[in-house]
Amino acid sequence: MEKTTQVIKNLKPGNYITIDGVPCRVEKVTTSVSGKHGAAKTRVEAVGLFDGTRRSIVKPSDEEVEVPILQKKKAQVLAVTGNIAHLMDSQTFEELQLEIPEERKDEIKEGAEIEYYEILGIKTLKPLK
């Protein structure tokens, strides 16, 4: 599970963040200054990468948050069974089975070289960028 930390006020739309242990893509970042002696607060609105659920957090602007590291990997398609692709990682030769998303059905054929992503130990064929 690879992740790093970043100051919340430095996040921008399109960046990634971990909210409640779920990797999300940042959609909106707003900063508000509270009263005379209060610290500025930053609100981050994001969408889960795997479930599409909207999540938001509010934290002091100088606090650090977890940011997942997205690893783009290459694999060869060994076989396709229904909507499951049997893959072999091109570097580690690890065999894995992943569900084929609708938007990549025509691209994933037997013998093809494809890219997949690993985020916080979860592997997916969904296009994330």
Q: Where are the domains of the chain?
A: 3-68, 71-124
Residue that is written with structure tokens 């783009």 in the block = 72
- CB 73 within 8 Å of CB 115: yes
The beta-carbon contacts of 91-97 under 8 Å, at least 24 apart in sequence, are 96/123
Output the pLDDT for position 34. 78
The fold adopted by the segment(s) 71-124 is OB fold (Dihydrolipoamide Acetyltransferase, E2P) (2.40.50)
* pLDDT tens column, 61-117: 999 999 999 999 999 999 999 889 999 999 999 999 999 888 888 888 898 899 999
CATH of domain 3-68: 2.30.30.30
- CB 58 within 8 Å of CB 19: no
* pLDDT tens column, 33-46: 877 778 899 999 99
For residue 50, count CB atoms less than 10 angstroms from its CB and return exposed for 0-12, middle for 13-18, buried for 19 or more. Answer: middle
